[in-house]
């Protein structure tokens, strides 16, 4: 049998459904791959070998009894460590939650289990999802399988790297400002941010509640769509969940894979043209646009004049919400408690716990958010940022009156070497320049590999109107059919 | 926009319950200043008549019937606590002895 770790999720599911491979064999192959390469990649913070093998054995038993199983039954999946998994360590890559085992599952984890997928473990990330390089993990960075000296993107670098290293065929990420798409771009994998409210946030450790969106990571567009269909849909436990069914993303991906885009209008955002992007990234993007035109698509230039204000608005809104959300980490109900020697007051213990438990990027954002929300500055910063959010939403709405989807590179640059942007936080924030507008608007967006620059992957971003996730999957699959998938060098 | 001072960062850290070190104060003051200068230009476009958007999903309050449903047990709720006593979270003292 060919190495199952090189197969797509759809292929693996087919093998299991026909009995050519057992779920236990598939899980074992992936666990063995993790054991062989993860000391170099460090995509995982925790590998749940026993749990994975038990879940796989359960799938095999159910199949043996002739039960009807879902389309991803028996397929392994890696889950970002910011998502609560019952009894399995969940740290958000922070020291403040070291060793915490949640007493409940996130809704999307419940859905993954119900679908018969096999959870391999928890993936590395920037602490509390704050970062663009996975260098801010309290447990050490993840290395990009394309070049171990470079960043795998962030904050979901572990999820993306686990795919590129063939440790898992599917992974779950969360996207607040680009944390699914940007790691997808720099590791040559597919990363999809669903419509905000299209996937449940119940059981996610909250960073910026009005922006956080969990979504699928995969090596092909069809696999991402299959995973999207499993985790998406209304959840009564999340008041921001949209009470509508998931659009037919799998059907759209399969339609796109036929390579016909006749009549589809693609909008190129004028304001994104060349802003801070590397020449190699722009070249790969332009070649991909030409490939889409050959498939029948029409390209229209559209203007979104307020997109240039998205990054500054985001860096006021996200830290403001974070400063409030992270107040719960006070050393009382869970996680670390520091300095409790019997003499110190609760307030002192809280301050010492938070100082010891949080890393530099988290502290920086808590302080920035506290400032933006404080009396005297609220109107100048947070209030203005919320108005910019209105302007960006209007830009999207008027653009989608003229075109079906918007397209851009996913990131302005390819994977950069470790340490090259940590000294200047604003330089690091530029990694999310093209991804942030959709988070402020709430619509879906996907990153698909579209070629190489200097031997490193470049991502192509497709943005769609809210709840039109199927549209982006169609275009993404068409692009994939034209340019193919990328294979990283052997580890 | 006024620059953010070291004293201001110290005050914000106290408000945020973060016992930052002297070294961190120096570093954060410089970095926050750069970030704030970079984000200040949002004021150029956010005019008076533009309504703010706090959330991309239009939300209305949804109430459910007040029916008792199973939740976490006491043991589960306390399972991650750094310290517990008599089935409750144990916290350091809140008041000084003289208070």
Q: Per-residue pLDDT for B61 more than 90? A: no
**Residue recorded with tokens 């993303």:** A249
Please state, in angstroms and as integers, the Cα–Cα distance from residue A301 to each residue in A33, A269, A403, A407, B49, following that order.
45, 6, 9, 10, 28
Q: Are A171 and A77 in contact (CB under 8 A)?
A: yes
- The mean pLDDT of A198-214, rounded to a whole number, is 98
The distance of B68 to chain A (nearest Cα, Å) reads 15
Place of tokens 């209030």: A383
CB of A391 closer than 8 Å to CB of A303: no
A273 touches chain B (CB under 8 A): no
| Mean local confidence (pLDDT), A191-214 | 98
- In angstroms and rounded to an integer, the radius of gyration of the C-alpha atoms of chain A is 21
Q: Do B18 and A239 touch (CB under 8 A)?
A: no
Q: What is the pLDDT of residue A390?
A: 97
Checking phi first, is residue A129 left (phi over 0); if not, alpha (psi -120 to 50) or beta? left
Q: Residue B84 is inside which H or E element, if any?
A: strand B84-85
Segments of A126-188 assigned E as strands: 170-175
> Residue A75 phi/psi, 5° resolution?
-85, 130
Is residue A156 within 8 A of residue A217, CB to CB? The reply is: yes
User: Could you give phi then psi for residue A404, rounded to 5 degrees?
Assistant: -85, -40
- For chain A, give the percent of residues with pLDDT over 90: 94
Interface check for A390 against chain B (CB to CB < 8 A): the answer is yes
At how many degrees (to 10) do helices A221-231 and A107-114 cross? 110
- B96 pLDDT band, cuts 50/70/90, is low
Q: How far is B40 from chain A (nearest CA, A)?
A: 7
pLDDT of residue A274: 63
Where in chain A are the domains? 4-252
A466 touches chain B (CB under 8 A): yes
CB contact under 8 A, A309 and B42: yes
How many A/B residue pairs have CB atoms within 8 Å? 177
Query: Does A194 reach chain B within 8 Å, measured CB to CB?
Result: no
Asked whether the predicted pLDDT for residue A462 surpasses 50, the reply is yes
Give the per-residue pLDDT at B63. 82
**Average pLDDT score over residue span B50-78:** 89
pLDDT tens digits for range A278-287? 999 999 999 9
CA distance linking residue A198 with residue A244, whole number of Å? 8
pLDDT of residue A257: 98
| pLDDT for residue A1 is more than 60 | no
**What average pLDDT does range A203-209 have in this prediction?**
97
Phi–psi pair at A405, nearest 5 degrees: -140, 160
User: Which residues from chain A sit within 8 angstroms of residue B28, using beta carbons?
Assistant: 363-364, 367
B1 pLDDT exceeds 60? no
Cβ of B19 and A354 within 8 Å?
yes
Query: Does the distance separating the beta carbons of A367 and B42 come in below 8 Å?
Result: no
Pair A117, A71: CB distance under 8 Å: no
Determine the residue of chain B that is closest to A311 in CA distance.
B39
pLDDT tens sequence across A368-427:
999 999 988 898 899 999 999 999 999 999 999 999 999 999 999 999 999 998 888 888
More confident residue, A439 or A429: A439
Q: What is the CATH number of domain A4-252?
A: 3.90.1300.10
Phi, psi for A336 (deg, rounded to 5): -70, 145
B27 DSSP assignment: H
User: What's chain A's average pLDDT?
Assistant: 96
Distance between CA atoms of residues A426 and A364, nearest Å: 12
Q: Is the pLDDT of residue B43 over 60?
A: yes
pLDDT band at A273 (very low <50, low <70, confident <90, very high): confident
pLDDT for the residue B62: 74
Task: State the DSSP H helix or E strand holding residue A191, giving kind and residue range, or none if neither.
Answer: strand A190-193
Angle at A446 between CA A326 and CA A175, to 5 degrees: 5
- Asked if A349 lies within 8 A of B92 by C-beta distance, the reply is yes
Q: Which of A96, A147, A179 is nearest to A428 (CA)?
A: A179
C-alpha A487/C-alpha A165 separation (Å) is 10
Structure-token pair, residue A148? 């171990």
pLDDT of A36 higher than 60 = yes
pLDDT of residue A91: 98
Q: Does A426 sit within 8 Å of B56, measured CB to CB?
A: no
Contact A120, A26 (CB under 8 A): no
In chain B, residues with a C-beta closer than 8 Å to the C-beta of A102 are 80
Which residues in chain A have their CB less than 8 angstroms from residue B41's CB? 309, 312
pLDDT digits (tens, 9 = 90+) for A139-184: 999 999 999 999 999 999 999 999 999 999 999 999 999 999 999 9
A94: CB partners within 8 A, 6+ apart: A127, A128, A138, A329, A357, A358, A359, A362
Residue A194 above 80 pLDDT?
Answer: yes
pLDDT over 60 (residue A34):
yes
pLDDT given for residue B99 in this prediction: 54
Asked if pLDDT for residue A42 goes beyond 60, the answer is yes
pLDDT score recorded for residue B2: 52
- pLDDT over 70 percentage in chain A: 99
CB–CB of A56/A23 below 8 Å? Answer: yes
Give the pLDDT confidence score for residue A287 in this predicted structure: 97
In chain A, residues with a C-beta closer than 8 Å to the C-beta of B12 are 367, 370-371, 374
User: Which whole number is the average pLDDT over B79-96?
Assistant: 90
**Averaged pLDDT for residues A9-38:** 97
* Domains located in chain B, CATH noted: 6-45 (1.10.20.60)
Kindly give the pairing relationship between strand A298-302 and strand A44-47: unpaired
- A218 within 8 A of A9, measured Cβ to Cβ: yes
**Residue to test with chain A: of B39, B89, B97, most A Cβ within 10 A:** B39
Residue A275 pLDDT level (bands cut at 50, 70, 90): low
Residue of chain A whose alpha carbon sits nearest to that of B13: A367
Whether the CB of A423 is below 8 Å from some CB of chain B: the reply is: no
Q: How far is A176 from chain B (nearest CA, A)?
A: 13
Residue numbers of A annotated as active site: 80, 155, 179
pLDDT value of position A172: 98
Indicate whether A136 pLDDT > 80: yes
Q: Does A136 touch chain B (CB under 8 A)?
A: no
CA A193 to chain CA centroid, nearest Å: 7
């Amino acid at each position: 049998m060919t190495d199952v770790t090189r197969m797509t999720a759809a292929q693996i599911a087919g093998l299991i459904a026909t009995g050519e491979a057992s779920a236990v064999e598939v899980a074992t192959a992936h666990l063995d791959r993790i054991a062989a390469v993860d000391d170099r990649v460090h995509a995982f913070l925790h590998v749940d070998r026993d749990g994975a093998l038990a879940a796989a054995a359960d799938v095999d038993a159910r199949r043996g009894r002739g039960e009807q199983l879902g389309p991803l039954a028996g397929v392994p999946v890696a889950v970002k460590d910011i998502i609560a998994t019952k009894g399995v360590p969940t740290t958000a890559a922070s020291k403040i939650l070291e060793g915490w085992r949640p007493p409940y599952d996130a809704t999307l984890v419940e859905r993954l289990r119900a679908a018969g997928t096999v959870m391999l473990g928890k993936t590395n990330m920037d602490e509390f999802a704050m970062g663009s390089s996975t260098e801010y993990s309290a447990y050490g960075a993840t290395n990009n399988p394309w070049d171990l000296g470079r960043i795998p993107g962030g904050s979901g670098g572990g999820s993306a790297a686990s795919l590129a290293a063939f440790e898992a065929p599917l992974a779950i990420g969360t996207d607040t400002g680009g944390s699914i798409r940007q790691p997808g771009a720099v590791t040559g994998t597919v990363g999809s941010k669903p419509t905000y409210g299209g996937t449940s946030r119940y059981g996610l450790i909250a960073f910026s509640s009005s922006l956080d969106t969990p979504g699928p990571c995969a090596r092909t567009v069809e696999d991402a769509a299959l995973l999207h269909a499993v985790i998406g849909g209304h959840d009564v436990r999340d008041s921001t969940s949209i009470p509508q069914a998931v659009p037919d993303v799998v059907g759209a991906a399969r339609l796109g894979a036929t390579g016909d885009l006749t009549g589809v209008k693609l909008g190129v955002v004028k304001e994104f043209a060349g802003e801070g992007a590397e020449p190699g990234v722009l070249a790969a993007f332009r070649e991909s646009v030409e490939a889409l035109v050959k498939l029948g698509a029409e390209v229209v230039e559209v203007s979104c004049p307020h997109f240039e204000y998205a990054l500054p608005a985001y860096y006021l809104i996200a830290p403001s919400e974070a400063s409030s959300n992270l107040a719960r980490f006070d050393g009382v109900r869970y996680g670390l408690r520091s300095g409790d020697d019997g003499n110190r007051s609760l307030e002192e213990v809280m301050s010492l716990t938070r100082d010891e438990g949080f890393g530099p990027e988290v502290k920086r954002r808590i302080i920035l958010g506290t400032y933006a929300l404080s009396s005297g500055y609220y109107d100048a910063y947070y209030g203005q940022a919320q108005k910019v959010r209105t302007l960006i939403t209007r830009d999207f709405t008027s653009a989608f009156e003229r075109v079906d989807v918007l397209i851009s590179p996913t990131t302005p640059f390819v994977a950069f070497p470790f340490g090259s942007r940590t000294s200047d936080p604003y330089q690091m924030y530029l990694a999310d320049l093209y991804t942030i507008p959709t988070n402020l608007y709430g619509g879906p967006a996907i990153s698909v590999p579209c070629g190489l620059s200097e031997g490193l992957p470049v991502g192509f971003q497709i943005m769609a109107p809210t709840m039109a996730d199927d549209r982006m999957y169609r275009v993404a699959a068409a692009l994939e059919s034209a340019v193919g998938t990328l294979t990283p060098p052997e580890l | 926009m006024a620059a953010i001072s070291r004293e201001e960062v110290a005050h914000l850290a106290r408000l945020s319950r973060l016992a930052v070190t002297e070294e961190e104060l120096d570093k954060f003051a410089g970095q926050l200043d750069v970030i704030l200068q970079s984000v200040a230009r949002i004021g150029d476009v956010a005019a008076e008549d533009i309504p703010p958007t706090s959330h991309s999903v239009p939300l209305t309050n949804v109430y459910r019937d007040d029916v008792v449903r199973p939740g976490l047990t006491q043991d589960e709720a306390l399972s991650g606590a750094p310290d517990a006593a008599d089935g409750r979270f144990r916290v350091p003292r809140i008041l000084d002895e003289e208070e």
